[in-house]
Amino acid sequence: MDWETLAKELATPTDSKIVLLVIDGLGGLPRNGKTELETAQTTNLDRLALRGCCGVTDPVFMGITPGSGPAHLGLFGYDPVKYQLGRGILEALGSDVEVRQGDLVARGNFATLRDGLIVDRRAGRIPTSECERLVGLLNKALAGRPGAEVTLFAGKEHRFVARFRTEGLGDCLTDADPQKDHKPRVPAKAEAPGSEKAAGIINAFLDDVVAILKDEPTANAALLRGFSLQPSIPQMPELCSLKPAAIANYPMYKGLAKLIGMATYKVGAETKDLFDTLEAHWAEHDFFYVHFKKTDAAGEDGNFEAKVKAIEEIDSFVPRIEALKPDVLVVTADHSTPALMHGHSFHPNPFLLVAETALPDNTGVFTERECVQGSLGRFRSIFAMPLMLGHAGKLKKFGA
């Protein structure tokens, strides 16, 4: 019997409230002996650590580096090995893109191509306004061409969503993304019968982008990954007897939340907007997923100091959650993004749970090395959801 089966049997609605604060990419590696989290001044998180119980989580299995989609699925109680979602559908739904049955969607990056190499996969993180201009230019140039209907939708900074609409598209495709800078462009390839047509359409599109944007100084190519058709997945409200809401301002995370049945809200770009939205909708839900992105972005940029600053920023907002008096408060990450590695890593995530029903383990401070000594030990992220529900009194007794 797996957790999904148990959840359907044991989950029961109550008035208790849960807040899951996900500090994206929180875990790090030492520079001069200290990680980003150990370097940051985190007065509020350290105080919570003394009140709660701690551990560390592995999103998939030890040693496996997860993408953001599977890492979040694990936290929400879904086996990320069982439910393998393309990043494209998450980004599309989070951007309010209409996705019909049979549509193929992908997450896109504008990139810098120079002398046959992708020298910057994020095109210098161009402003969102520049992304919108480029998307408009490409949509105009591609409109009315024979074959598949291709439409782009601008996201934040260098990101966009690409939608391919025609009959007979499959989504068993490799990413059209070298994954690292200073590598040549790579084509999408079909990994199973039925996706060859899609691969041909995608690669022709990517060549068209290079031709259309050849005079652009920075964003003169595109990369695509996470190809996906519309998937089927159990809904959190029915699975866990919850009224869940996502408080996030990046499309991918809102898209994942929508896919599993969470309510989503329009949230401004500033950190305070997350907490304004949380407070505004506090009476309407009993489970709140709050997502903070800046830590992950700084880690991917290899900017140790910016990640420290981002950690300190989110720490300063913790009292606003406490003031709402949730019955269970969990602070953790979806995955680690050490600045030392410039990307996601396989390192476990610090995990903190505070509730009146939790036995404090007197963890001194909220850091990676302290959390690994906590009473919760090291566990797979999929167990975070039963821990939250159990401490909130939302699980019935199992068996006689």
Residue 400 belongs to some domain of the structure: no
**Separation of CA 373 from chain center:** 27
Judge if 214 and 264 occupy the same domain. no
Residue 398 belongs to some domain of the structure: no
Judge if 242 and 352 occupy the same domain. yes
Judge if 366 and 266 occupy the same domain. yes
Judge if 172 and 253 occupy the same domain. no
Judge if 216 and 268 occupy the same domain. no
3-state secondary structure of 25: strand
The pLDDT of residue 1: 63
What separation in angstroms does the CA of 42 have from each of 38, 102, 178, 296? 9, 47, 37, 17
CA–CA separation, 46 and 32 (whole Å): 21
Residue 281 belongs to some domain of the structure: yes
Residue finishing a domain among 228, 262, 297: 228
Judge if 284 and 175 occupy the same domain. no
Residue 210 belongs to some domain of the structure: yes
Residue 165 belongs to some domain of the structure: yes
CA–CA separation, 248 and 294 (whole Å): 12
Any residues with CB less than 8 A from the CB of 181 and at least 6 apart, and which? 118, 119, 120, 121
Residue finishing a domain among 183, 207, 228: 228
269-295: per-residue pLDDT in tens?
Answer: 999 999 999 999 999 999 999 999 999
177-233: per-residue pLDDT in tens?
Answer: 999 999 999 999 999 999 999 999 999 999 999 999 999 999 999 999 999 998 888
Judge if 162 and 280 occupy the same domain. no
Any residues with CB less than 8 A from the CB of 52 and at least 6 apart, and which? 329, 352, 353, 354, 355, 358, 360, 361, 363
In this structure, what CATH number is given to the domain that contains residue 327?
Answer: 3.40.720.10
Residue 399 belongs to some domain of the structure: no
Judge if 153 and 213 occupy the same domain. yes
Tell me how many degrees the CA angle 28-305-292 measures, rounded to the nearest 5.
65
Q: Work out the number of other CB atoms within 10 angstroms of the CB of residue 315.
A: 22
Scanning the structure block, which residue is given the tokens 């006689």?
A: 400
To 10 degrees, the CA torsion angle through 257, 263, 269, 271? -90
Instruction: Please provide the average confidence, as pLDDT, over all residues in the chain.
Output: 95
The pLDDT of residue 49: 97
To 10 degrees, the CA torsion angle through 289, 290, 294, 297? 10
Average pLDDT over residues 291-310: 97
86-138: per-residue pLDDT in tens?
Answer: 778 888 888 888 888 899 999 999 999 999 999 999 999 999 999 999 999 99
Judge if 177 and 245 occupy the same domain. no
Judge if 246 and 133 occupy the same domain. no
Judge if 247 and 297 occupy the same domain. yes
What separation in angstroms does the CA of 127 have from each of 130, 131, 151, 218, 271? 5, 7, 20, 12, 18
Judge if 241 and 380 occupy the same domain. yes
Residue 96 belongs to some domain of the structure: yes
How many domains is the chain partitioned into structurally? 2
The pLDDT of residue 231: 83
Name the residue among 42, 75, 47, 16 with its Cα closest to residue 325.
16
Residue 157 belongs to some domain of the structure: yes
CA–CA separation, 80 and 145 (whole Å): 38
Residue finishing a domain among 228, 243, 270: 228
Q: What is the extent of the structural domain holding 133?
A: 91-228
Q: Work out the number of other CB atoms within 10 angstroms of the CB of residue 93.
A: 23
64-68, 94-98, 370-374: lowest mean pLDDT where?
94-98
219-230: per-residue pLDDT in tens?
Answer: 999 999 999 998
